[in-house]
Structure 1
Amino acid sequence: MRKLVNFSFTYMILGVASGLFYREFTKMNGFPEGAWTQLSVVHTHLLVLGFIILLLVLLLEKAFVLSQHRKLFAWFMGTYNAGVLLTAGMQLTHGIMTVLGIESSKMVSGIAGLGHMSITAGMILLFIMLRRSVGAGDQQKAPRKRAVEG
């Protein structure tokens, strides 16, 4: 559980820092106020996908002990966090390129797509663990049926 708290806290710091970076970097480079760049959504992605989602996973861990599925939980943490960091990193890269007036390449979009796929795979792993944990809890609490005599 401490790992979830630490990751969540780290994403909170990164999210706040990326919002500050967006404001200061665009101001420093004379980027027109109100003009769109992916820098404006990096902090939102880090706060929601990192900070908030992992806090929700912490609550699910407390309720259903998701970590009892050790391999799946390790795969979830690795896959999901790699996806969030890769996605945010590519948004940051693309946003900086936009502010500096550098044309983006398809490679940046492709790598960001890999990040999104990794997030999706992590979410699927989360739901597999959740279904197994919820299913196991239901079987333990269900009353036993008697065989019908006759």
Structure 2
Amino acid sequence: MQKIFKISSFYLILGLLLGIFYREFTKFNNFIGTTNLGLVHSHILILGFIFFIIVLLLEKNFNLSSIKNFKSWIITYNIGLIYLVSTLIFRGILQVKDYDFAGLSHMSGLGHAILGISLVWFCTIVNKAIKNYEIKNKVTSK
């Protein structure tokens, strides 16, 4: 559980720092308008910090880490999230500097796809953990 809490805390700090970066970078470059940098802060806080707090609560109640592929899932999810955020940051910087590169949309889409697959995978892990919990505690679902 400590590992999950540390991951969540990492994303909290990263999200806050990227929010400050967005504000200061656009102000420093006299940029007025919308940019992908504005999305990074919320993506990190929701998909990183809040999501892993929820994972922590599910781990406490259903022992998710006992499921076979849990460690592989955490690695895949984090790779997808970091990849997505990296492409959003890079494209946002290019937008502020007025050097937009259209190909980054597809690269960012790959990060979304990895996250989408990871979220479905997470649902199967939670489902298995709940079934194990019900068998262990002889809970009947109606």
TM-score range, shorter chain: over 0.9
Greater than 6 Å deviation, 4+ residue runs: none
Which whole-Å CA distance do the structure 1 matches of 2:74 and 2:105 have between them? Answer: 24
TM-score (norm 1): 0.88
Which whole-Å CA distance do the structure 2 matches of 1:142 and 1:103 have between them? Answer: 55
The answer on whether the counterparts of 1:91 and 1:112 sit within 8 Å (CA) in structure 2 is yes
Shift of 1:133: 1.2
1:96 pairs with 2:83: no
Q: Aligned to 2:134, what secondary structure does the other structure show?
A: helix
Residue number in structure 2 paired with 1:135:
131
Shift of 1:103: 2.3
Count of residues in correspondence between the two structures: 139
1:126 pairs with 2:122: yes
Gaps of 5+ in 2: none
For residues 60-96 of structure 1, the C-alpha deviation after alignment (integer angstroms, 9 at most, x for no partner) is 00010000014x1112101111111111111101110
Q: Aligned to 1:126, what secondary structure does the other structure show?
A: helix
2:73 pairs with 42, 62, 76, which one?
A: 76
Cα RMSD of the aligned pairs, angstroms, is 1.2
Which whole-Å CA distance do the structure 1 matches of 2:134 and 2:62 have between them? Answer: 11
The 1:67–1:104 alpha-carbon spacing in structure 2 relative to 1, beyond 3 Å, is same
Shift of 1:49: 0.2
Residue number in structure 2 paired with 1:26:
26
TM-score (norm 2): 0.93
Which whole-Å CA distance do the structure 1 matches of 2:40 and 2:115 have between them? Answer: 15
Which whole-Å CA distance do the structure 1 matches of 2:14 and 2:128 have between them? Answer: 32
Identity, in percent, stands at 36
Gaps of 5+ in 1: 144-150
